[in-house]
Amino acid sequence: MMNTLLLDCGSGGRASHRLIGEIFLRHFDNPVLRELDDAAKLELPHGRIAMSTDSYTVTPLFFPGGDIGSLAVHGTVNDVSMLGARPLFLTCAFILEEGLDMALLDRVAASMGAAARRAGVSIVSGDTKVVPRGMCDKLFVTTTGIGELLADPAPAGSRAKPGDAVLLSGAIGDHGLAVLGQRDSLSFLDGIKSDSAPLNAMVERLMLEVGDIHVLRDPTRGGLATTLNEIAGQSGVACEIDEESVPVHANVAAGCDILGLDPLYLANEGKLICIVPEKKAAAALRVMRESNYGTEATHVGEIIEPSLPHKSGQVILRTRIGGRRLLAMAEGAQLPRIC
Amino acid sequence: MMNTLLLDCGSGGRASHRLIGEIFLRHFDNPVLRELDDAAKLELPHGRIAMSTDSYTVTPLFFPGGDIGSLAVHGTVNDVSMLGARPLFLTCAFILEEGLDMALLDRVAASMGAAARRAGVSIVSGDTKVVPRGMCDKLFVTTTGIGELLADPAPAGSRAKPGDAVLLSGAIGDHGLAVLGQRDSLSFLDGIKSDSAPLNAMVERLMLEVGDIHVLRDPTRGGLATTLNEIAGQSGVACEIDEESVPVHANVAAGCDILGLDPLYLANEGKLICIVPEKKAAAALRVMRESNYGTEATHVGEIIEPSLPHKSGQVILRTRIGGRRLLAMAEGAQLPRIC
């Protein structure tokens, strides 16, 4: 194999075929992918499915706790899961810069393959484009996932109801700070690792063992505060959360203090918000705490009837010192290119 | 709406929501997309589906006969169709450069929406990432499509059989030259338009009215020659085609002569190869000629038993002057970034 990527590797000709065989087929191997047709032929148990797509442009490509490859698997597996679905198949489309170090591409593909196997999904089809040097930043990847819906009605952002409990699967802010620390070589952030992880096993247990899950949503870009605002807006409710009860690791809290960042707005890649009727909250928390990636799960707040002073779509934070303040949706990005 | 794209528009916060509402929801509007959940909830008639993904990095973004938006719809609709499937749903993921002209993004999204409506598919979920200036070339888009399989066994690259007829739905090379002409301002290529078009209606009629379709494949990157080599290799057969019978528009042939390009290796975005048992060839050709985008369909060759001097996986061209020569797979790209 050559050491650096050539434009020819995106041509559809022999050079493309070698790239696919030597890197992608080797790391993603499965019978569907091996057919190498224009599309993958798939068998799903039924036709009620969830489908989601995300492009990944994170920089740097490798960071403590993960890399763009595993992130691209976890992120899309999680988005499909948030409809209460069992993710089954992924596609991946690479946009690569001419001159890319092939060993780096091989490491990313190996990480994607391993992440897919751990999450129990197959990468069934793909695409590779190579653009001339300077036309993209090393490597972008877009994954799309599909999965079978496990319940009808499915969890949805519009289904939060007054009286529901708001549960969070663990501590927030690690992913955003881990990427920032690596990118800007901030040594005081050493030791913070991304939480990038697949949440489908936890979701499947919530759906099948607890049931009646109203909302599942992973607080990625925009963080917990923005995601709760989205849910409150979609459901036409208000939401109150306790600052004290939201878990934040000590090193993340310290890093945020130094940088003037708010962990409530930092991206997470392995956490979910679960909104359930209050009577289901204890069972849901137990399942979350028993799951991988959910040991720090906790009850963080409630959905409430919108009535003055709490308007529909608003999120209220009960602060540590006993006050209440509005937690607005982020306007823009605290940190760009974290996913 | 602001005039140029800000990094904040990829943040997941309010600026992202405005971008989605003002551009994407407006042009792609449908009930599934409007839910704005992490994934789209879809109902398919059954669970036997085709799924395909492609990234589009074509430059320039607008070219005679199309643009990156309509191309991203047609390309993926066609890839799903090539398994003999009826495409139903698309997702789209944008990677955008900070500072992008918003009017340009609006034109691309409008073109995507219109192309999806014409092809009868819905854009049900999406993603937007914004990278800092210089980190990508204006706009890349990745579409992923799913559709219901219409036959079992489905057409596949591995199903060509000796004796089968090789049919081509029309003239080749227009897309590759149209993009090149626009990019390099080659005035002698004026008048050549991309053939970018959705082929799903033609495929559906072939599947339902003719049946027993062995192979469908659209000769995009690498052109007719490379695609036939892939099929011959996957099926373990040889293939002979008549140079004389392969339609090439006069202006494309003239442009290729000047540039030293071979139309057999140029990309097409609205053509398909259909391989059927000889007894089905007349019926298939009739359906193709009656379809939009298929009026110039023609019989171009046959699948033959691999026996010396024709080895398995080889494609042989019967030349205009009566000779025979091997038509190899392209090694690399004649023209980069044409899709």
pLDDT in tens, B11-41: 888 999 999 999 999 999 999 999 888 899 9
Chain A CB contacts of B35 under 8 Å are: 156-158
Chain B CB contacts of A12 under 8 Å are: 220-222, 226, 267, 330, 333
Rounded CA separation B69/B143 (Å): 10
CA-based nearest distance B134→chain A, Å: 7
pLDDT tens track for A206-219: 999 999 999 999 99
CA-based nearest distance B28→chain A, Å: 16
Chain B CB contacts of A79 under 8 Å are: 38-39
CA-based nearest distance B92→chain A, Å: 7
Residue A310: pLDDT above 80?
yes
Chain A CB contacts of B57 under 8 Å are: 95, 129, 131, 135-136
Query: Binning pLDDT at 50, 70 and 90, where does residue B330 land?
Result: confident
Phi, psi of B329 (to 5 degrees): -70, 145
Residue A170: pLDDT above 70?
yes
DSSP letter at B81 equals H
Residues 6+ positions from B184 with CB-CB distance below 8 Å: none
> CB–CB of B37 and A83 under 8 A?
yes
Closest CA to B230 of B332, B334, B315, B306: B315
Residue A2: pLDDT above 90?
no
> CB–CB of A217 and B38 under 8 A?
yes
Query: Quick one: three-class SS letters along chain A?
Result: CCCECCHHHHCCCHHHHHHHHHHHHHHHCCHHHHCCCCCEEEECCCCEEEEEEEEECCCCCEECCEEHHHHHHHHHHHHHHCCCEEEEEEEEEEEEECCCEHHHHHHHHHHHHHHHHHHCCEEEEEEEEEECCCCECCEEEEEEEEEEECCCCCCCCCCCCCCCEEEECCCCCHHHHHHHHHHCCCHHHCCCCCCCCCCHHHHHHHHHHHCCCCEEECCCCCHHHHHHHHHHHHHCCEEEEECCCCCCCHHHHHHHHHHCCCHHHCCCCCCCEEEECHHHHHHHHHHHHHCCCCCCCEEEEEEECCECCECCCCEEEECCCCCEEECCCCCCCCCCCCC
Question: Tell me, what amino acid is at B7?
Answer: L
Residue A308: pLDDT above 70?
yes
Taking all residues of chain B, what is their mean pLDDT, rounded to a whole number?
Answer: 95
> CB–CB of A91 and B140 under 8 A?
no
* pLDDT computed for residue B2 by the predictor: 79
Angstrom distances, CA of residue A120 to CA of A90, A127, A218, A323: 11, 21, 19, 45
Angstrom distances, CA of residue B336 to CA of A8, A96, A131, A148: 8, 13, 8, 38
pLDDT tens track for B178-217: 999 999 999 999 999 999 999 999 999 999 999 999 999 9
Residue B50: pLDDT above 90?
yes
Phi, psi of B149 (to 5 degrees): -70, 135
> CB–CB of A95 and B50 under 8 A?
no
Chain A CB contacts of B44 under 8 Å are: 47-49
Chain B CB contacts of A125 under 8 Å are: 51-53
Using CA coordinates, name the residue in chain B closest to A89. Answer: B51
Taking all residues of chain A, what is their mean pLDDT, rounded to a whole number?
Answer: 95
Q: Please state whether the predicted TM-score (pTM) of the whole model is above 0.90.
A: yes
Rounded CA separation A323/B249 (Å): 75
Percent of chain B with pLDDT over 90: 90
* Cross-chain CB nearest to B89 (options A51, A154, A329): A51
* Cross-chain CB nearest to B55 (options A12, A46, A142): A142
Rounded CA separation B35/A156 (Å): 8
Residue B142: pLDDT above 90?
yes
Q: Are A142 and A56 in contact (CB under 8 A)?
A: yes
Using CA coordinates, name the residue in chain B closest to A228. Answer: B13
> CB–CB of A37 and B135 under 8 A?
no
Q: Which long-range contacts (CB under 8 A, 24 or more apart) does B180-188 make?
A: B180/B259, B180/B335, B180/B338, B181/B63, B181/B64, B181/B255, B182/B60, B182/B62, B182/B63, B182/B64, B183/B59, B183/B60, B183/B63, B186/B255, B188/B254, B188/B255, B188/B258
* Cross-chain CB nearest to A52 (options B12, B39, B44): B39
Q: Which sign, positive or negative, has the C-alpha torsion B231, A146, B21, B101? A: negative
Residues 6+ positions from A184 with CB-CB distance below 8 Å: none
* pLDDT computed for residue B310 by the predictor: 85
> CB–CB of B124 and A51 under 8 A?
yes
> CB–CB of B11 and A332 under 8 A?
yes
* Cross-chain CB nearest to A57 (options B95, B124, B148): B95
Structure-token pair, residue A114? 């391993």
Angstrom distances, CA of residue A218 to CA of A74, A152, B16, B20, B216: 11, 20, 17, 19, 40
> CB–CB of B13 and A37 under 8 A?
no
ipTM over 0.85: yes
Chain A CB contacts of B230 under 8 Å are: 36
Rounded CA separation A189/A267 (Å): 16
Rounded CA separation A177/A193 (Å): 8
pLDDT tens track for A53-86: 999 999 999 999 999 999 999 999 999 999 999 9
* Cross-chain CB nearest to A43 (options B47, B53, B334): B47
Q: What is the mean pLDDT of residues A229-258?
A: 97
* pLDDT computed for residue A1 by the predictor: 64
CA-based nearest distance A234→chain B, Å: 8
Using CA coordinates, name the residue in chain B closest to A125. Answer: B52
Q: Are A299 and A282 in contact (CB under 8 A)?
A: no
> CB–CB of B95 and A8 under 8 A?
no
DSSP letter at B40 equals E
Chain A CB contacts of B95 under 8 Å are: 55, 57, 95, 140, 142
Rounded CA separation A79/B127 (Å): 11
> CB–CB of B144 and A53 under 8 A?
yes
> CB–CB of A38 and B333 under 8 A?
no
β-strand A165-168 against A273-276: which pairing, if any?
A: antiparallel
Phi, psi of A195 (to 5 degrees): -90, 10
* pLDDT computed for residue A307 by the predictor: 86
Using CA coordinates, name the residue in chain A closest to B339. Answer: A129
Chain B CB contacts of A220 under 8 Å are: 12
* pLDDT computed for residue B327 by the predictor: 95
* pLDDT computed for residue A107 by the predictor: 98
> CB–CB of B37 and A125 under 8 A?
no
Rounded CA separation B17/B210 (Å): 47
